[in-house]
Structure formats: C-alpha cells, structure tokens
C-alpha cells in the first residue's frame, strides 16, 4: 500500500516580526523586549512552517481602581489594583509577558495625569508596555500624545489608533519612537485599509500591530475568529498589508459579558461563577490564538497561567 | 471529490470501448437526449446514476465513490437522541460553514460508583443561549477493570443519550454491545492487536467502530481502517492516538486536508478526540476537526462555555444568529426609563444589551426586525427604515409601558429622523450615539 504523504502547505508570505519595548541599548529602559510575528504558517502548524515567536500574554491594569469590574477580578488583584505601579508589579510576578495600561474614561483625564501614571508604571516594571486611552477620540488624542512624549524611545504600543484619530496617534508614535495598535471593526478590508493609511504617513510596518477587534465567546467571537483566520491566510498568501501581528483584548470583552461579570439572577445551568468566568476568558482567548492572535490581553491571573500553559503546549513539537 | 460533467461522460456508455455497451450510446432511456447531456446533469446533481440502465459495473463503482461525501457521516443514536459527525466540506468555516457540530461526550469509568448519576446529570443538562436549548450529546464508558456491562446498562437506564464503549477487550466489548442493545453505540477501539474480533463485533451488532493507531502514525491508522473495512465494517471513526494540543492540531489538520484536498478516501472518516479535563483542549477539538469529543468530567460551569463555543463555531457565517424582534427589558426598567431602538442581528443586539447591562442603567430596548442585519447594513439594504421602526413601536405595544414618548435612534441612522417623526407624530425622536459602547455615557448626559 502506498504510504500516506503528509499534506503540507508551503506559503510564500510571512508575518512581519514586531518588537515591543526597548532596552537601554536601544534607547529605552525595559529589562527585556518582546518580539512577536515571523510565522510562515497558520497558528502552531509546525509541519507546515516556522513559528519563531510564541504568542504572548499581556495583563490589563488600569490607571485607577476599576470599581465597576467584576468582584472576582477585584478580589484576586486585591490592594494591588488600587495603584497602577503595584498592579504592574503584581502582573509581572504572575508571569505576564507585557503590561497593558488602560486609562478609564474620566472627566479629569489630562495629559499631565497620564504622564505621571505612565512614568510610575515604567518605573515599577521592566516589561514592555502597551498604553490604551479610554477609546474616545478626544481624550485618546490628549493623553496619548503626552504618553508618547513621556515614554520617549520605549517602543510603547499606543492605542487605539482608529480611522478617526490615526493621524494624531501615528504622528506621536513617529516622533517618539513608538508603535501603534491599528484597530478596525472585524473586517478584513477595513483592517488592510487602515494599515495602508498608517504606513502612508511614514510609520514603518514593523511598528504596527493590527487589532481586528473581537467579541467574547457568545458575543460575536466567531466573527473575530474568522476575520483573523482570513487576515492570516491573506498574510501567508503574500498580501503585505496584512502581514502584521494581531493584538486582541479577550479579557476586556469577556469581563463585560454577563457570564463572567455577575452571578446575580443567572440560571442555575450556568454553573459555578468563578469556574464559568475563567472558562469564558480562557476559551475566548484560546480560540482566538488558534485563529492567529499574537498578543492577547487578559484580566485574570489564573487565565494568564492557563493560557500560557496552552501556548507552551502548542509551541512544542 | 466530485467529478465534472466531462469526467463523468468518460465513464458512460457513449465513451465505452466495449461495443456491447457502446451500442446504447445516446439511447435516451435516461430521459436525456445524449449521454453527454446526462453526464452534465449528473455533475450538477440534477439526475441520478440509476436513470441509465447501461453503465458498466466498474464505471458505476467509480461514479458512486465520487458521489460519496469525502468524510463519511457517522451517526450514533439512542432513544431518539443522535450524535452525528462527518460530511464536512471545508477546512475553514468562512469558506462555507461547518455542518455537523462536534458531539460532546462525557466519560465515566466502569469502576466509578456514581457513573449512573453522572450520566443522569449529563443527560438532564440543558442551557439556553439566544433562545436555543443547548445540550451535551452522549456518555462514553471506559473499561477500567470494573463491571463494564453493568455500567453500560446503568448508564443506558440513567440517560437517553448515545454511548461510546471505550474498551480494547473484545469480551467486554461484546458484553457492552449486548447491554447497549436497542441503541447505536460507537465501539472504541480496534487496534492492530484486536481488530479482527472487534470488526466482527461491529459488523454483528451494526455499531460504528473506532480504529486507533499510536502517536499519530497515519500509515498505521490507514492500514487498520482498510483492514476493518475489508472485514465488512463501513462506519469507521479515526483515533490517531494523539492526546496533546500540538500533535492533535497537526494530525487532525492533516487528516482534514487529506480527506478534502487530496481526496484520500482511506481517511474519509470523522475523528474521535479526547480532551481530558482541559476545557481549552476541548475547545481546540471543537474548532479544529474533532467529530466526537470526549471530556473526562461534567460540570455546568465548563459545559456551558463549551456549548456556546460550539454553537458559535458551527454557526453558518452566511446565516448569522438572530434574536427575536420585540421589546427587551434591561435592568428592570420603570415607565420613565429610556427607550432605544436596535436591530435583531444577534451581535448588534448583544453589544447594546451588554453595554446597558454592565452600566447598570435601566432601559427598554426595541429590537426591530431587520432580517438579522446590523444597523448600518440593514439601513443600506432597506431593511431598517422609518416604516419598520414605526411598525415595531406600534405592534409591540411599547407605549403602554412608558410614561414618556421619547425614543432614541441609533446614531448611524440619524437620517431617518425626519421620516420617523412623520410616522410617529406623538413621539420625540432623539439621536443616540453610533457605537453601543458610547450608550451609557450618552444616557447619563443626554437623557434627563
Ligand atoms: S440511458 Fe442515457 S446515458 Fe445511458 S446510454 Fe442511454 S443516453 Fe447514454
């Protein structure tokens, strides 16, 4: 009987390598840098091609105590969540690869305030830093420009950089040596288009991470899943404007969902709250990793541990 | 893989080298004017091969084989419950859709005192997700040195779900098959050591049979599958013998590619996958090509997210999940709470409902019938206009529940304001934000 030939798939394209953070040698102060991308295969198919860098996990911290977060999260982070510097340290201790600092929407957000917080976090951790504004164009522009100045040379990732405000954010990234998180709403063509607009302003492609947005499990996750799968296929087929590592925020999406957030008035069939909530976060995340995510932002340290275990298992071959 | 019309024509009497067959060429008995015309219709699946009485035996078997699905459909059943796998046609869900949801089985052991209780709990478990009742699919019973047949019997009595018999011992297998009489269980598994006895049992008891190789050795797997097929077993399930994330993903992907892209019939069967106690590994099996997925334990806090994951992955990308049009109450609204309009595309609805719920602000949500499209798409396609919104307002009886007459229109369809004022003269129309995430802030600042 003729032997079965393993059906391998060789691609012409390759995901671009992107490095987050800069050490003293490169003009920053980070203890280490994190490089993602470089894959010449769909996720974790080592018989098809190379995956030189494993996907990485960032932990989300916020500039002020997030009172509206699920009690499960507030309990597990405890007092650390009351101060961004100690929160960053705690996240690093729990094994995060990156810190994702999110500024919550607040009336007295200002550039100076944002500078102060970013400085505290940079001083508290040696991990590369991703900084997101509240997602409102005006506030984002205000604080991210100041953050870019304060973090000069650190190769921060600034987000979100959307069609509405990309000019300001990209200009700040260009001037101060940072990267941007290019976010579009679950659509292959919109994603490509924004990358083109950003690179037309002169930001090198290896300073862009693509953020195709996702929903949590049960809340549109499958759209994000298929959009990411299509983007990665396009990248491997040689489409340069999709050959960027992808960042998604399954933690934020999960913990907005009722399943994770609360145990009040929910059906008995939903089961134990903590078990369900952690499963919601890790399953949203693991499914997105299987479809091409390179950077995932999580909220719960137990999810961090499990997802890192899964990534390690998938990287071994 | 399906043959083209011309490829089919080469196998019909019109192309035959045998004069005894060739003489029937274009005899029209099939109901078509020529063999070629018939071939074209066959290629489009608009005719049946049996319509031509003159096809040669060899051509017939080739044509029949080409018409069979590249991954055989396997159905396990019991008491009206079915677990089905196979018949998939694509590697990625966006290429078309995945058809048969991965079946989720929970494992019990034959030396486990509460096996029947677990089976009962698994069988009784049901959870609502966007109006669908999601359930698990079956029980796998593992031979762990206990009384296998008695456990099978107890499980069968405790739940009405299909069963997988996990034993390599033909004696226990037969006892299990007898205990499972009246159902179609999966016998798991035939190995290089026991395959003759197992194949015989599978045939005798009409049960599908798993073939198991070691460490993802596909050649050994195919060899075994061919052997049991040769012994008369047609319903086969593959267990390539891998259990970890990395090898499962690699080997299952290879099997799917071989079946679909290489037209390799010898692996054209669904896969049984074992997830142990790891929900993420079960999630991988659901998304990446497991047909029957076996979990080591049952717990609602794990079953619910896995069932939702499965529902999501197996949703037809062309037919998004819709929610029922109507009035939805968020956070126990009073008559003075704001009233907002959105569409019945599930993701649109959920984004809005979720933002409101997490903000704690009460509100009434009028979900208009926009044929399952998002606000902007529906508006562009003419499925969300002033008339439809007005119809919703009037037919859902929202006015009786409110002490005010103000409604909030999604910012994306602000252009509908004028027309809507005409349709609903008693109402004050307000334009809300474009994105759901901005809704809580809008309500806090603009609704007073
Ligand atoms: S029945 Fe149709 S296909 Fe068959 S030989 Fe006659 S014309 Fe050809």
pLDDT tens figures, B197-233 = 999 999 999 999 999 999 999 999 999 999 999 999 9
Confidence of residue A225 (pLDDT cuts 50, 70, 90): very high
Is pLDDT of B357 > 90? no
**Which residues 21-80 on chain A approach chain B with CB closer than 8 angstroms?**
44-47, 68
The rounded Cα B90 to chain-centroid distance in angstroms is: 13
Was domain B5-67 assigned CATH 3.40.930.10?
no
* A256 to chain B: closest CA residue: B358
Residue B274: half-sphere exposure toward Cβ, Cα within 13 Å: 18
Distance CA A110, CA A142 (A): 7
Q: Which of residues 132-171 of A touch B (CB under 8 A)?
A: 135-136
In eight-state DSSP terms, residue A24 is G
Residues of B in contact with A220 (CB under 8 A): 346-347, 350-351
User: Which residue in the set A7, A217, A221 is minimally distant from B257, CB to CB?
Assistant: A7
Question: B25, exposed or middle or buried, with CB in 10 Å at 0-12, 13-18, 19+?
Answer: middle
Total Cβ atoms within 10 A of residue B29: 12
pLDDT in tens, B361-405: 999 999 999 888 888 878 877 889 999 999 999 999 898 999 999
CB contact under 8 A, B309 and A225: no
- Percent of chain A at pLDDT > 70 equals 99
CATH of region A23-315, choose from 1.10.357.10, 3.30.1330.30, 1.10.10.10, 3.20.20.20: 3.20.20.20
Residues 6+ apart with CB under 8 A from B243: B274, B276
Domain B326-446 classified CATH 3.30.565.10?
Answer: no
Handedness of CA A300, A305, A311, A313 (dihedral sign): negative
Q: List, by residue range, all CATH 1.10.15.40 domains of chain B.
A: 5-67
pLDDT of residue A1: 56
- Sequence spans of domains, chain A: 23-315
Q: Using the 8-state DSSP alphabet, how is residue B34 labeled? A: S
Of A189-198, B67-76, B354-363, give the range with the top mean pLDDT: A189-198
Put simply, the answer to whether B302 touches A310 (Cβ < 8 Å) is no
Beta strands B236-239 and B103-109 are unpaired
Which ranges in chain B are annotated with CATH 3.40.50.11600? 326-446
pLDDT score of A99 = 98
Sequence-ordered strand ranges (E) for B280-433? 292-295, 326-330, 339-343, 363-368, 406-409, 428-431
Burial class (CB in 10 A: 0-12, 13-18, 19+), A71: exposed
pLDDT in tens, B270-306: 999 999 999 999 999 999 999 999 999 999 999 999 9
Q: C-alpha distances in angstroms, A214 versus A150, A184, A220, B172, B359?
A: 30, 10, 7, 48, 20
For residues B222-246, give the mean pLDDT.
97
Query: 10 Å Cβ neighbour count for B112?
Result: 16
* pLDDT for B2: 67
CB B280 within 8 A of CB A286: yes
The residue of chain A with its CA nearest to that of B121 is A269
Ligand 1 surroundings by CB, under 6 angstroms? B 12-14, 24-30, 32, 35, 38, 52, 54
Give the A:B interface size as CB pairs under 8 Å.
163
- Strands ordered across the beta sheet of A98-102: A208-211, A179-183, A157-161, A129-132, A98-102, A56-62, A295-298, A247-248
What's the confidence (pLDDT) of residue B132? Answer: 84
One-character DSSP codes across B197-231: HHHHHHHHTT--EEEE-STT-HHHHHHHHHHHHHT
- Are B312 and A6 inside 8 Å of each other by CB? no
Which residues have CB under 8 Å from A83's CB, separation 6+?
A: none
Cis peptide bond upstream of A160, omega within 30: yes
B339-343 and B363-368 as β-strands: parallel, antiparallel, unpaired?
parallel
Of B306, B332, B362, which Cα lies nearest the Cα of B136? B306
Q: Which CATH number fits domain B74-313: 2.30.30.110, 3.40.50.40, 3.30.360.10, 3.20.20.20?
A: 3.20.20.20
């Amino acid at each position: 009987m003729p032997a079965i030939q393993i059906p391998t798939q060789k691609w012409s394209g390759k995901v671009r390598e992107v490095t987050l953070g800069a050490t003293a040698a490169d003009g920053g102060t980070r203890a280490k840098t994190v490089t993602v991308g470089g894959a010449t295969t769909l996720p974790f198919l080592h018989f098809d091609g190379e995956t030189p860098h494993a996907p990485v996990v960032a932990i989300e911290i916020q500039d002020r105590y997030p009172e509206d977060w699920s009690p499960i999260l507030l309990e597990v982070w405890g007092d650390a969540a009351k101060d961004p510097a100690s929160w960053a340290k705690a996240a690093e201790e729990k094994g995060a690869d990156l810190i994702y600092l999110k500024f919550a929407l607040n009336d007295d957000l200002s550039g100076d305030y944002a500078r102060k917080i970013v400085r505290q976090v940079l001083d508290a951790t040696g991990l590369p830093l991703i900084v997101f504004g509240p997602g409102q164009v005006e506030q984002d522009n205000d604080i991210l420009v100041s953050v870019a100045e304060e973090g000069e040379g650190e190769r921060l990732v600034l987000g979100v950089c959307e069609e509405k405000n990309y000019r300001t954010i990209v200009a700040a990234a260009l001037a101060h040596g940072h990267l941007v998180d290019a976010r579009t709403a679950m659509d292959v063509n919109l994603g490509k288009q924004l990358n083109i607009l950003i690179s037309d302003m002169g930001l090198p492609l290896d300073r862009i991470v693509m953020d195709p947005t996702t929903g949590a499990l049960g809340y549109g996750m499958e759209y994000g899943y298929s959009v990411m799968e299509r983007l990665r296929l396009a990248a491997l087929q040689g489409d340069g404007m999709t050959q960027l590592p992808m960042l998604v925020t399954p933690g934020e999406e999960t913990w907005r969902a009722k399943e994770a957030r609360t145990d009040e008035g929910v059906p008995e069939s939903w089961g134990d709250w903590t078990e369900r909530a952690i499963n919601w976060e890790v399953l949203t995340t693991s499914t997105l990793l299987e479809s091409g995510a390179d950077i995932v932002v999580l909220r719960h340290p137990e999810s961090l541990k499990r997802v890192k275990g899964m990534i390690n298992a998938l990287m071994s071959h | 893989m399906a043959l083209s019309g011309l490829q089919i024509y080469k196998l019909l009497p019109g192309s035959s080298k045998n004069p005894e067959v060739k003489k029937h060429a274009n005899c029209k008995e099939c109901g078509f004017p020529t063999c070629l015309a018939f071939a074209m219709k066959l290629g489009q699946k608009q005719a049946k091969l049996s319509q031509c009485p003159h096809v040669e035996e060899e051509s017939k078997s080739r044509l029949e084989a080409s018409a069979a699905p590249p991954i055989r459909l396997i159905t396990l059943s019991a008491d009206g419950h079915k677990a089905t796998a196979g018949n998939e046609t694509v590697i990625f869900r966006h290429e078309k859709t995945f058809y048969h949801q991965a079946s989720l089985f929970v494992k019990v052991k034959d030396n486990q005192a509460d096996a029947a209780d677990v089976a009962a709990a698994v069988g009784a478990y049901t959870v609502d997700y966007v109006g669908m009742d999601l359930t698990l699919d079956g029980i796998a019973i593992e031979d762990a040195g206990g009384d296998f047949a008695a456990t099978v019997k107890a499980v069968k009595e405790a739940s009405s779900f299909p069963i997988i018999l996990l034993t390599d011992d033909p004696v226990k297998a037969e006892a299990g098959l007898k205990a499972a009489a009246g159902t179609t269980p999966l016998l798991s598994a035939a190995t290089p050591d026991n395959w003759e006895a197992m194949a015989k049992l599978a045939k005798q008891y009409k049960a599908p049979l798993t073939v198991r190789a070691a460490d993802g050795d596909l050649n050994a797997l195919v060899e075994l599958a061919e052997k049991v097929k040769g012994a008369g077993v047609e319903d086969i399930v593959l267990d390539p013998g891998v259990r970890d994330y990395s090898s499962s993903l690699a080997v299952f992907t290879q099997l799917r590619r071989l079946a679909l892209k290489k037209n390799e019939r010898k692996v054209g069967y669904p896969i049984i996958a074992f997830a142990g106690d790891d929900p993420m590994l079960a999630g991988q099996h659901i998304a990446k090509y497991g047909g029957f997925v076996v979990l080591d334990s049952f717990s609602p806090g794990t079953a619910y997210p896995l069932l939702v994951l499965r529902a999501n992955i197996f949703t037809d990308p062309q037919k998004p999940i819709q929610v029922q049009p109507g009035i939805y109450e968020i956070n126990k609204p009073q008559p003075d709470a704001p009233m907002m309009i959105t569409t019945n595309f599930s993701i649109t609805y959920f984004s809005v409902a979720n933002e409101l719920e997490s903000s704690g602000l009460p509100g009434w949500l009028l979900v208009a019938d926009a044929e399952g499209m998002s606000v902007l798409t529906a508006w562009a396609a003419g499925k969300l206009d002033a008339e439809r919104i007005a119809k919703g307002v009037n037919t859902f009886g929202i006015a009786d529940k409110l002490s005010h007459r103000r409604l909030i229109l999604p910012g994306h369809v602000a252009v509908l304001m004028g027309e809507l004022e005409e349709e609903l003269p008693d109402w004050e129309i307000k334009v809300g934000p474009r994105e759901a995430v901005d809704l809580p802030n809008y309500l806090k600042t603009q609704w007073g």
